[in-house]
Structure 1
Amino acid sequence: MAEEVQMHSGSSSGSDAVSGPIRRVLLISAGASHSVALLSGSVVCSWGRGEDGQLGHGDAEDRFSPTQLSALDGHEIVSVTSGADHTTAYSESQLQVYSWGWGDFGRLGHGNSSDLFTPQPIKALQGLRIKQIACGDSHCLAVTMEGEVQSWGRNQNGQLGLGNTEDSLVPRKIEAFQGISVKMVAAGAEHTAAVTEDGELYGWGWGRYGNLGLGDRDDRLVPGKVSTIQGEKMVLVACGWRHTISVSSSGSIYTYGWSKYGQLGHGDFEDHLIPQKLEALREHRISQISGGWRHTMAVTADGKLYGWGWNKFGQVGVGNNVDHCSPVQVKFPLDQKVVNISCGWRHTLAVTERQNVFSWGRGTNGQLGHGDSVDRNIPKIIEALSMDGSSGQHIEASKVDVSSEKAWVSPTERYAVVPNENSAEPFGHNGNDVNVPETDVKRIKI
């Protein structure tokens, strides 16, 4: 039983602190600019960018400290997964998947493209026993306990694996895996990877940089099997934005795809079209991996953390802002061992064996959880979630009355539609949104 301690009851930014027992952080998940954590007692916290509702607090406000997602209290949540600008959670007892945040392209799975500011159940998945959920930039997948895969959301490059390029507003079963039991899936920006119970590796979707591991740069509309790597069976897979990472049963790590920023870790900046063993970590047995937008993290069996790739905001966590094309060890106070890792687009989260949560990288929207918007290039403890926090665990509770808020927001209320070539230029606060490529058929925020 957790030690009972009294938490501080001060308030800040319209939130009250929650008092109660110290809660262990069970899972963390980082999105593009937001973060989510699952604590013991099925408490879900979120913080960071909230513009698209991805925090689930019923509003569009950023949160600079972990805030309890009260809408999920009592739902017995056992997993949380962040997409770029949306989030999912699963209740094992209710056999229900919830989603919220940016709804464009149907990535929330509710049959429309509306944004959601509070968690809502995905009706099409009701009653399924879910083993794992993966969320990419604009698409999601769920693996059932039976090894079947459901996918939904954006599909312009076939990343849903359904054999076409039509977006799917609701979850659909990937028929190509009929008779094949899938262990886990991973979702990148526009591609997807999977490992089967038999240790086979698959890739599909957008493949321009070799990120499918199939030896070419072609897209695939259905899962394609990656050639056996030296007879090794795969047990883990993760996707960065346009690169892929896998781990074999022997603990070896393989990377492939885009490497402009060194995110493959092979000591160069060359793309690889098939999985290549990461020789720099050959002496280590890898137990966990995570891919960011352009950086990669790996945890060894003895709890050491290594990072490499794009490091403009310090997201690799090694005390500088220089890109690294080979793995560099990330250091923690008291040499704490890492037990959980998650890469966001420009920030990284880690949980240590001492039940402390650390974050580093981009902090502009509060996604680091330190109460400010400062970037950091070495791990900093999130006081509010950590056993060794100087003031004890201090989790804020949102005051938003979610029952009085409008949960569904239609696209026309929040966005201007990107015009076609015959229309006037799209507009935003200061002209075009710089985060939206000109060639991307995507709504521009106003």
Structure 2
Amino acid sequence: MDSVMAAPDAPPQAVVLVSAGASHSVALLTGNALCSWGRGEDGQLGHGDAEDRLVPTVLSGFDAPGIASVICGADHTTAYSEEELQVYSWGWGDFGRLGHGNSTDVFTPQPVKALQGLKIKQIACGDSHCLAVTMAGEVQSWGRNQNGQLGLGTTEDSLLPQKIQAFEGVCVKMIAAGAEHTSAVTEDGDLYGWGWGRYGNLGLGDRNDRLFPEKVSSVEGEKMVLVACGWRHTITVSESGTMYTYGWSKYGQLGHGDFEDHLVPHKLESLKDSTISQISGGWRHTMALTSEGKLYGWGWNKFGQVGVGNNDDHCSPVQVHFPEEQKISQVACGWRHTLALSEKKNVFSWGRGTSGQLGNGEIVDRWSPYSALAQCLTLFYEETQYLIFAIYTLPSY
């Protein structure tokens, strides 16, 4: 251990979840605290200014109670207060992605008034659009819509959340947002895609856009339970834990051992003996977590975002190793960096680091979680709040 900052009688706070955007990162901590780090030019960090942060910094001015989730878009962020039944958003406001009825950038969390009072099950943020699934299985969407990614039947941007009427009578379980496309799974296990489809990323067997959600028929008999979107590819997992990918694969991000696009969901044979419990898609890379806590990555790796100690692209899954073989409980892909949370509540980061998005106080890329591990601890005082690190330097493999 190189350095530890500590203070007497300061209770550590556990990290609950992490999320990653284009060049920024966020975390939800126990004690209802949010922290953020990385690029802040558009207000996506929520600190009231446009400064980058090289280490996680608590949003001291945000005191909404009962925060249940925090999700990054490319250059904006959303959070949901379960206690207030209120969605908050901040960051780059272009195309109405914040849902505030305008295109203004916002530098501190502000309520999305159109969603007030809704019980939200999940929020998904893409490059420039967002969606929210209610506990009743309805879907609201807002933001950029040039390819129909909002599912409203038009290509007009929406500055305010609108209900996707095409899902009337359908109970949506989970939603995922890519750069310009959207995918969903229903409580019945059906898979849908809409928006930009040029690389087959909608899974509908062609390269056409869709303005409304359309059911993917090529996985008949398989009930889907998870879905995630990369920039222009899609990942889904069946009830049995089997993983499928489709869409753009120029950098091997589909994981099938080649660089060929797939226009319909294609089973990932290399992980067929693993039960996949969580998935995440980056700009051009993919991560998958197994029920045993093992993490695999593949795809574009120019900045080490796959986390396997090199910067070679990988067209098949490669296991990511952690100190003491810690089991991973959550993974989040940014555009060019990746975050992981271990069962021991340690936060790992790797990949692009030039905006401070790795949170280790540096502005360099890291090819492996071993290179510089930041174990997040939080100290709270009556006058101030800040996040500190125990920095470990570990050998790269």
Tell me which interval the TM-score lies in, with the shorter structure as reference length.
over 0.9
Task: Give the partner amino acid of 1:365.
Answer: S
Query: Contact (CA 8 Å) 1:200, 1:228: kept in 2 or not?
Result: no
Partners of 2:10 and 2:153 lie apart in 1 by 50
Letter of the aligned partner of 2:350 in structure 1?
W
Q: Deviations over 1:72-112 (max 9, x none)?
A: 23432110000000000000000000000000000000000
Larger Cα Rg: Structure 1 or Structure 2?
A: 1
Q: Matched residue of 1:108: which SS?
A: coil
With normalisation by structure 2, the TM-score equals: 0.93
Number of the residue aligned with 2:350: 360
Identify the match of residue 222 of structure 1 among 204, 212, 216.
212
Contact 2:346 2:375 (C-alpha < 8 Å) held by counterparts: no
- 1:206 matched to 2:196? The reply is yes
- Structure 2 CA distance for partners of 1:394 and 1:318, relative to 1, 3 Å: farther
CA contact (8 A) 1:49 1:366 kept: yes
**Aligned counterpart for 2:19 among listed residues 15, 29, 32:** 29
Quick one: distance in 2 between partners of 1:384 and 1:280? Answer: 32
Q: What are structure 2's unaligned runs of at least 5 residues?
A: 388-397
- What secondary structure does 1:374 align onto? coil
- Residue deviations 1:269-328 (CA, integer Å, cap 9, x gap): 000000000000001000000000000000001000000000000000000000000000
Question: 1:181 and 2:179 equivalent?
Answer: no
- Check whether the contact 2:228–2:281 (CA below 8 A) recurs between aligned residues: yes
* Paired residues of 1:66 and 1:384 also in contact (CA < 8 A): no
How many Å apart are 1:354 and its aligned residue? 1.2
CA distance in 2, matches of 1:289, 1:70: 31
Partner residue in 2 for 1:373: 363
Q: Flag structure 1 segments of 5+ consecutive residues without an equivalent.
A: 1-5, 10-17, 387-392, 400-446
Counterpart residue identity of residue 376, structure 2: L
The reply to whether residue 53 of structure 1 matches residue 43 of structure 2 is: yes
Amino acid at match of 1:263: Q
Q: Name the CA shift for 1:371/1:7 in 2 (closer, same or farther; >3 Å).
A: closer
Deviation at residue 394 of structure 1 after TM alignment: 5.8
C-alpha distance in 2 between matches for 1:54 and 1:46: 9
Asked if residue 336 in structure 1 is aligned to residue 326 in structure 2, the reply is: yes
Q: CA deviation at 1:242?
A: 0.1
Equivalent pair of 2:228/2:235 in contact (CA under 8 Å): yes
Distance 2:152 2:386 in 1: 39
CA shift digits 1:32-84 (9 cap, x unpaired): 00000001111100000000000000000000000001122343211000000
Cross-structure match for 1:8? 6
Report what 1:435 is aligned to.
none
Letter in 2 for 1:201: L
- Deviations 1:349-404 (CA, angstroms, capped at 9, x unpaired): 00011110000000000000000101000014653515xxxxxx5689479xxxxx
Query: What residue in structure 1 maps to residue 263 of structure 2?
Result: 273
Corresponding residue of 1:383: 374
CA distance in 1, matches of 2:250, 2:16: 34
In structure 2, C-alpha distance between the alignment counterparts of 1:198 and 1:71, rounded to whole Å:
41
Q: How many residues align?
A: 380
Contact 1:134 1:187 in 2 (8 A): yes
Match of 1:253 in 2: 243
Answer yes or no: is the 8 Å Cα contact 1:199–1:234 preserved in 2: yes
Distance (whole Å) between structure 2 residues aligned to residue 230 and residue 87 of structure 1:
35
Aligned to 2:108: 118
**Structure 1 letter corresponding to 2:290:** T
Secondary structure of the corresponding residue to residue 113 of structure 1 = coil
Q: Tell me the equivalent position of 2:272.
A: 282
* TM-score, normalised relative to structure 1: 0.83
Provide the C-alpha distance between the structure 2 equivalents of 1:71 and 1:134, rounded to a whole number of angstroms: 24
SS in 2 for 1:376: coil
Q: Which residue of 1 aligns with 2:390?
A: none
RMSD: 1.7
The 2-side partners of 1:94 and 1:66 are apart by: 25
Question: Can you list the C-alpha shifts for 1:114-157, whole angstroms capped at 9, x where unaligned?
Answer: 00000000000000000000000000000000000000000000
Match for residue 94 of structure 2 among 98, 104, 123: 104
Partner residue in 1 for 2:393: none
One of 292, 297, 312 as aligned partner of 2:287: 297
